[in-house]
Amino acid sequence: MKPSADKLGLRLASLKEAVEAMEGRGNPAVVGRATKVATRAGQRVSMSADHTVVALAGSTGSGKSSLFNALTGTEYAQVAVRRPTTSRAMAVGWGTELPNELLDWLDVGRRHLVATDDERLRNLVLLDLPDHDSTEDAHRMTVDRMVDMVDALVWVVDPQKYADAALHDGYLKPLAEHADVMMVVLNQCDRLTGDQLKHCVSDLRGLLDREGLRASPLVATSAVRGSGVSELRESLVATVARKRAMVHRLSLDVKKAARQLSNDLGPKVPAKLNNSLKEQVIETMGEAAGVGLVVDGVHDAWQRRGAALTGWPLVSWVSRLRPDPLKQLRLGAMAALEHRPTDVNRTSLPKASAVQKARVDQGLRQLIDQAAQGMPTGWVAAVDQAAHGNQALLADELDTAIARTDLKVASGAWWWVLFSLLQWLLILTVVGGLAWWLAGPALAASGFGIPLLSWYGVPAGVWVALAGVLAGLILAGVGRLLVNAGAKARARRARKELNAAVSTAIEAQVFAPVQAELDRYHRAQAAVRAALR
């Protein structure tokens, strides 16, 4: 099925998307060629779609210019020794108006308009190109440029040089994928006998077929005698009438460029991040950033503060002399700065050790290797760059994430206050018991009839004081058990909150850029497949 203009538009859009995705990642030469094809095809589509540009190309002495004059019925193309040395092509169009915008784009300076009553010729533009084997570099450059830009090509050969390697190796073989929009003309057949012509045509046909040009018609002509010229002109007219040479040529260009991009991309690979390896990276980066130290600090700070409030007041004050580990790390109250974005949060956490850095590098390398496994070298480098591109910023992001995490240790537990009140009541009980003990004899002798109470020979006040001390110590022991349990719970909660904060920072600075590269790779693969449909 021949391609339509709509399908060409979709393929062209897909090619442009693939080129954009592969920029800086694919083979520069392949991507560069595809970019030129996309640009050239887009420009040609925007030009006249009604006109078909056919170029006559050939070697020196093939009679190409004579054939051009015979086809156009003019003498515009100079032949033999009178052939001009200009490197610019010449165009002939039929009708009342030339497609000047199209010819400007082709950079054809010499252009002629031929009046005709044959409506079939009105949309044909025939180009006479310089000799492809000219000694002038400018001539060959013009041919090379035009070969890429015209809608259809007619290669003119002569009986002496029809197998010339410069033509076959330089043009026909590389253009084998464009066989549908090419034709080969064996000119000067008037120089051959019938048998010679038959042999020559058979040999050339076999040569073309072996080079992948089975779809390219082969026509024998004689510009001198006019034989075959009418048939060639009718073939060109038929090409114009079908109005698909331009679309077909551009579709072939797009598919060829897309196929080269596909080869450069290689077989499709999963290209995805492994969640298990992501968790390992988060853990190792978190430890390197100081999560473990902060968790230990939360545990110790909770124990310190809880012991100070729930312990026996006569000895618990000693715990207050120990420094608060969170204040030493500039943590704890720092979460309040979250609502003050103009302030920069910084902790006093030590920098990662060499061992921690090595573990981080190893984990990140495993993640990258797994994600980019099977991808081309350029894409692997892009994924690696994405993973490491924000490392300088990542350290600050992790420190800020830890500093802004609300560790929920500032307020303490509600029961600490209750235990503290009970402890002080027990202290008052001890003081009251001692006072009763010391004041008991005096009160008994005062004459107020207050008895001197005792149990087992020990004054009641002493028993009250001892009961207060014992109750305080028991309450302090229960408080210590509860505080330790709470410290462990707070540490677990702090680790969860810190890991979440660290994960968010790593996701933004490492995983998201890597995932963007993987998504870009998948877009390139999908776009190439669409361009090849």
Domains and CATH numbers, the chain: 50-242 (3.40.50.300), 275-412+487-532 (no CATH)
Question: How high is the pLDDT of residue 192?
Answer: 93
Contact 241, 118 (CB under 8 A): no
Going by C-alpha positions, the residue among 264, 341, 308, 503 that lies closest to residue 423 is 308
Residue 308 structure tokens? 């100070």
Question: How high is the pLDDT of residue 318?
Answer: 64
- For 222, half-sphere exposure in the C-beta direction (CA atoms, 13 angstrom radius) is 10
Report the distance separating Cα 318 and Cα 518, nearest Å. Answer: 58
Low-confidence ranges of the chain (pLDDT < 70): 1-3, 77-87, 316-322, 324, 326, 328-330, 332-346, 348, 444-445, 447-451
Distance, CA of 517 to chain centre: 3
Question: How high is the pLDDT of residue 143?
Answer: 94
CA distances from 71 to 9, 44, 56, 158 (A): 33, 25, 11, 17
Contact 185, 155 (CB under 8 A): yes
Question: How high is the pLDDT of residue 334?
Answer: 41
Question: How high is the pLDDT of residue 324?
Answer: 67
Written as one string, the DSSP assignment of 253-315 is HHHHHHHHHHHHH-S-------HHHHHHHHHHHHHHHTHHHHHHHHHHHHHHHHHHHHS-HHH
Question: How high is the pLDDT of residue 308?
Answer: 83
pTM exceeds cut of 0.85:
no
Question: How high is the pLDDT of residue 339?
Answer: 39
Residue 451 structure tokens? 């008895």
Question: How high is the pLDDT of residue 437?
Answer: 84
How many helices (H) does the chain have, and how many strands (E)?
19, 9
Contact 258, 15 (CB under 8 A): yes
Question: How high is the pLDDT of residue 213?
Answer: 96
